[in-house]
Amino acid sequence: MHNNGQSVNYLNYKGKHSGIFAWILSTDHKRIGLLYLMATLLFFAVGVTFGFLMRLELIAPGRTIMDAQTYNSLFTLHGIIMIFLFVIPGLPAVFGNFFLPILIGAKDVAFPRVNLLSWWLYIIGASLAVISVFLPGGPADTGWTFYIPYSIRSTTNVMPALIAAFILGFSSILTGLNFIVTIHRMRAPGMSFFKMPLFIWSLYATAWVQILATPIIGITLLLVTIERMFGVGLFDPALGGDPVLYQHLFWIYSHPAVYIMILPAMGVITEIIPVFSHRTIFGYKFIAFSSCAIALFGSMVWAHHMFTVGMSETAQIIFSLLTFLVAIPSAIKVFNWTATLYKGSISTDPPLLYALAFIFLFSIGGFTGLIQGALSVNMHIHDTSFIVAHFHYVMFGGTGFGVFAALHYWFPKMFGKMYNMKTAKVGFWFLFVGFNILFFPMFVMGWLGMPRRYYDYLPEFHIYHLISTIGSWILITGLIIMFTNFIKALRSKTTYTAINPWGGETLEWTIPNKPPLENFEVIPTVSAAPYEYKDNEELLSGIEITETKEDN
């Protein structure tokens, strides 16, 4: 029985359900990860389409293809879909689910049924968001931030959108809870906390933020819902409520949420860089602790989103200072990644290209974040497209490219197929170049005063909008190349059997591609720290490594 379970891979084994139910009722973490992957990529495609349409509208001043109300709904939906349906679950729920148990040498997560429940909540929340678009009243037009008082006055379908976000929050909480218990209780024998792969550390820090910050947005959105239904006066200024209090509560979650989005991506990059430079990671403990430090400091900086609402100067200065502090652990990571690359034997395969692009784009995003963290500059660029450029550099250039890196890195393991390397690289360059052409002009025009979320603009901004829109076409070409490459690989008949194509050192590279139901035939006993390239020569068979000399 045990052996039978092992011989069948996770895509093919027969459980007690059949057909589609074998998937949507499966409690196998790998199947759930794949379900999440399909759902998130679907919504990513929708979000990209909305972004593309918005860019097309902005190609010239005045009306181009849609009216202003449609534009407002589009940026709201683009935000809600990208944030709640793609970026937040994109790494933890997809790759975390798939690889967390494997990386720590476990058969599944601690609560497989809760895991399935969290996918279902995701689907219910997502469906509600989709339904809200088609109900009479029209899609929500408040922006993904649901700022009061407009969100209690707007006659569009704000309610379903709020409830959708609330349910999605629950899904995120349950995933985080599951991960924490799994990491604490299910590590393979010998795998102490400091022998865990660093992706796990980043998921661990993320999970804490998920369970401690998400309830705040839950209750806040619930209060807005109640406010809309009964008019209890908690936020409505007409009844004595305080809209600024709403903003505080919103950002108490939504700023840490930014780290829910970026931390797992950093974890993926930390997995990829030592593998492709064939070197032990530089500063393991620093990277591990910096993940926790980011989670901690990141939870205390929310009010830097609100420097212009009229807080006390003391509060402004404190939040500004804390904002600068967050940069330190992020910088530690960037330093350690580059130090790992230094004198490494680097193979520039697609996953590494995406990882390098991550470092480059995230650094730009991070540094411009610091610019905004400075009080005086913030007054100038608040609510301009500078901000839009900044968070797209972090969220798309960071997390988005992190997702692409993870896809290219783990694709052979997940599907037992290999994509075309050359096409992947071509796709990468289109994406990278297109991304910069799309978003860099936003820094410039934001600095010159182009407000964000505006439907129309003065002629002097035309050139930047034009360049940006052209960039969006290049970016989308890159996306199409990348995904066609994946689909071609999936449909090809040749099975890819090399279990360790990149020469990875972590546990997922010791088990067959398309891992079997219970992952490991025998639960492994771990003795070495991850990324110990010198001690584990047998794993590296077939891969040439240049010995690097360490200077002491």
Partner 1 sequence: MSAVAEHTIEHVHRDDIGSRLGMWLFLFTELVLFGGMFLVYAVYRFMYQHEFHVAAKELSASVGALNTIILLTSSLTIVLAIVAIRKNNKFLAVFFELMTMLLAFGFLVNKFFEWKIKIHHGIFPGSEILLAKGNGEVIFFGLYYVMTGLHALHVVIGMLLIEVMAGFTIKGRINSTNYVRLEAAGLYWHLVDIIWIFLFPLFYLIT
Alpha-carbon distance 530 to 523, whole Å? Answer: 17
In the chain, DSSP finds a helix count (H) and a strand count (E) of 19, 0
Contacting residue, 158, 163, 223, 431, with partner 1 by CB under 8 A? 223
Q: Give the closest residue to 370 by CA, choosing from 313, 338, 331, 312.
A: 331
User: Minimum distance between the CB of residue 1 and partner 1, rounded to whole angstroms?
Assistant: 6
Angle at 274 between CA 269 and CA 275, to 5 degrees: 95
- Residue 8 touching partner 1 (CB under 8 A): yes
Stretch that binds partner 1, among 64-72, 237-245, 331-339, 414-422 (CB under 8 A): 237-245
φ/ψ of 25, rounded to 5, equals: -115, 10
Radius of gyration of the chain (CA): 23
Alpha-carbon distance 264 to 261, whole Å? Answer: 7
Alpha-carbon distance 111 to 179, whole Å? Answer: 9
User: Minimum distance between the CB of residue 150 and partner 1, rounded to whole angstroms?
Assistant: 20
Q: Which two tokens stand for residue 330?
A: 């992020």
When the beta carbons of 232 and 379 are compared against partner 1, the nearer one is 232
Stretch that binds partner 1, among 73-81, 177-185, 306-314, 377-385 (CB under 8 A): 177-185
Residues 52-71 that bind partner 1 (CB under 8 A): none
Alpha-carbon distance 33 to 31, whole Å? Answer: 5
- Residue 532 touching partner 1 (CB under 8 A): no
- Residue 375 touching partner 1 (CB under 8 A): no
User: Minimum distance between the CB of residue 287 and partner 1, rounded to whole angstroms?
Assistant: 25
When the beta carbons of 296 and 364 are compared against partner 1, the nearer one is 296
- Residue 113 touching partner 1 (CB under 8 A): yes
Total interface residues for partner 1 by CB under 8 A:
52
- Residue 214 touching partner 1 (CB under 8 A): yes
Q: Give the closest residue to 396 by CA, choosing from 95, 83, 85, 168.
A: 83
When the beta carbons of 62 and 240 are compared against partner 1, the nearer one is 240
Peptide bond into 189 cis (omega under 30): no
User: Minimum distance between the CB of residue 329 and partner 1, rounded to whole angstroms?
Assistant: 23
Stretch that binds partner 1, among 233-241, 278-286, 367-375, 384-392 (CB under 8 A): 233-241
- Residue 452 touching partner 1 (CB under 8 A): no
Structure letter (DSSP) for residue 508: G
User: Minimum distance between the CB of residue 272 and partner 1, rounded to whole angstroms?
Assistant: 29
Amino acid type, 190: G
- Residue 17 touching partner 1 (CB under 8 A): yes
Q: Residues in the chain, how many?
A: 552
User: Minimum distance between the CB of residue 102 and partner 1, rounded to whole angstroms?
Assistant: 14
When the beta carbons of 111 and 440 are compared against partner 1, the nearer one is 111
| Greatest alpha-carbon span in the chain | 72
Stretch that binds partner 1, among 40-48, 61-69, 244-252, 327-335 (CB under 8 A): 244-252
> What is the b/e burial string over 44-83, where b = at least 16 CB atoms within 10 angstroms of the residue's CB?
bebbbebbbbbbebbeeeeeeeeeeebbbbbbbbbbbbbb
Contacting residue, 10, 28, 202, 386, with partner 1 by CB under 8 A? 28
Q: Give the closest residue to 168 by CA, choosing from 113, 129, 209.
A: 129
Site residues, partner 1 (CB under 8 A):
1, 4-5, 8, 13-17, 26-28, 107-108, 110-114, 173, 177-178, 180-181, 184-186, 211-216, 218-220, 223, 226, 230-234, 239-242, 245, 249, 252, 517-518
